[in-house]
Amino acid sequence: MKRTSRLAAWLLAAGVGTLAASGVASSAARAEDGAAALAGKTCGTLASRVAEIPGSGPVFLRSYDSSFGVGQTSELPLREAAFTYDNALAVIALVACGKTEPALRIGESLLSAATLDRARRQGRLRNTYRAGAQTQKPIPPNGWWDVTANRWFEDAYQVGSATGNVAWAGLALMTLGEATGEERFRNGAAELARWVVANTADPRGPGGFNGGVQGFDDKPQALTWKATEHNTDLVALFGWLERSGTAGDWAGPEKAARGFLDRMWADGGGHFPTGTAPDGVTVNRATSGLDAQLWPLLLRGAPEAWRAALDYAEKAHGVDGGFDFNDDRDGMWVEGTAQAALVYRLLGRPDAAQRLLAEVGKEVSRGGHVWATREDSITTGLAIGPDSTTDDFRYYRRPHLAVTAWTVLAAVGWNPFTGERVK
């Protein structure tokens, strides 16, 4: 029996009128209808953005939407940027929507990039590619022509390979493998996982895997810090590869990534620290990250004790309408608020999930993408890159692909770490 039906029966037994009971049921129905409407709108937005790119071949979607003149960025590195993380999430969201064909167009680009990089390495996936139809092989990373300087530029982060981004691309390919039954997608995910193991494994301190590589091909710079978020992504990817029977040793890497999470949990005393300092050993206590609290709860077999991280997030990250990225609580991070809605659904708290989805639904732009923040900008407490001297990474109020995809996942009830619907 549904929760609303049980509650209605209790109200009747307690002598409360039928009108009140039906009011509760209709309220729950309206909430469910609202989630369905939000899912329909955002699913349609993602599918339409793929359809706008002519042909039927591989594509990458622009991360920052500028439809209807909304959200246009003047920053050349971002104008046509298609971030790998964002596009991986779009693949998963489209599959969750039942729209496999547009998901395949993005997935083919991820698979091609995973199979061969311009550095002639398999599994080397860049953080950012150029949006649009992908006709070149290997697919080049994002770049732009600067008229003033009269030369071509690339960005050190965008041509780098962050461990978490590679893992999310692997999860997208595993999702397509499940949806289509085509082994080539699982094999592509395995290539990405092998690159991670070969290039980012770090046994120091809590073990696990470091942040990846940043910089240009002639002078790559290892990112020696380790992130709870990245290692969470890897537990999901390695575990999925192992369950699917994909060729390779995945149990060992999964154990290493999971061991990192267990160590962070033990050091956090009821929540997850963001990871380590650049020495790969010292626990980073300078700031708190919402994704570090939420994502581990989406893992298959997550210990019940970890649910305390959600209680911590509510206190340390809760703001009016939802959640902030970090614990300075200077505004609503819409992407993280959608993530929290999905976690609430997974943990059997539908009322809390629907409350957050209603707030996220207020942030849909005229173009159909969801705004990244409610305020003009919010801090994260993180740095853009290893050369940053301040915590200069911020989120801005722009219509964004990843936020839209997470909204789909929360509204539909789809766990991206397992490829399963949340009950």
Residue 392: the pLDDT is 86
Cβ(62)–Cβ(81) below 8 Å: yes
Angle (nearest 5°) at CA 97 between 95 and 102:
55
Q: How confident is the model at residue 16 (pLDDT cuts 50, 70, 90)?
A: very low
Q: State the residue range of the domain holding 68.
A: 31-421
Residue at 277 is within a domain: yes
For the segment 279-289, what is each residue's pLDDT rounded down to a tens digit?
A: 999 999 999 99
Residue 19: the pLDDT is 45
For residues 324-329, give the mean pLDDT.
Answer: 98
For the segment 270-318, what is each residue's pLDDT rounded down to a tens digit?
A: 999 999 999 999 999 999 999 999 999 999 999 999 999 999 999 999 9
Residue 68: the pLDDT is 58
For the segment 143-201, what is each residue's pLDDT rounded down to a tens digit?
A: 999 999 999 999 999 999 999 999 999 999 999 999 999 999 999 999 999 999 999 99
Residue 25: the pLDDT is 52
Residue at 198 is within a domain: yes
Residue at 9 is within a domain: no
Q: How many folded domains does the chain comprise?
A: 1
**Residue 52 and residue 54: Cα distance in Å, rounded?**
6
Residue at 23 is within a domain: no
- What element of type H or E holds 337? helix 334-346
Q: How confident is the model at residue 370 (pLDDT cuts 50, 70, 90)?
A: very high
Residue at 68 is within a domain: yes
Q: How confident is the model at residue 18 (pLDDT cuts 50, 70, 90)?
A: very low
DSSP three-state, residue 397: coil
Q: Is the pLDDT of residue 28 over 80?
A: no
For residues 38-51, give the mean pLDDT.
Answer: 98
Higher pLDDT, 170 or 423: 170
Q: How confident is the model at residue 17 (pLDDT cuts 50, 70, 90)?
A: very low
Q: Burial-class residue 234 by CB neighbours within 10 Å (0-12, 13-18, 19+).
A: buried
For residues 345-369, give the mean pLDDT.
Answer: 97
For the chain, percent of residues with pLDDT exceeding 70 = 91
Residue 11: the pLDDT is 33
Specify the amino acid at residue 238. F
**Residue 255 and residue 261: Cα distance in Å, rounded?**
10
For residues 358-368, give the mean pLDDT.
Answer: 97
Q: How confident is the model at residue 14 (pLDDT cuts 50, 70, 90)?
A: very low
Number of H helices, E strands in the chain: 14, 17
Residue at 310 is within a domain: yes
DSSP three-state, residue 83: strand
Tokens at 194, concatenated = 């092998």
Residue 66: the pLDDT is 80
Q: Is the pLDDT of residue 22 over 80?
A: no
Q: Is the pLDDT of residue 32 over 90?
A: no
Measure the CA dihedral 77/82/84/85, to 10°.
90
- Residue 112's Cα: distance from chain center in Å? 21
Q: Global pTM?
A: 0.92
Cβ(43)–Cβ(370) below 8 Å: no
DSSP three-state, residue 422: coil
For the segment 211-230, what is each residue's pLDDT rounded down to a tens digit?
A: 999 999 999 999 999 999 99
Residue 192 sits in a domain whose CATH number is 1.50.10.10
Beta strand segments in 114-215, E: 128-130, 132-133, 144-146, 151-153, 161-162, 212-214
Q: How confident is the model at residue 141 (pLDDT cuts 50, 70, 90)?
A: very high
Residue at 2 is within a domain: no
Residue at 13 is within a domain: no
Task: Give the total residue count for the chain.
Answer: 423
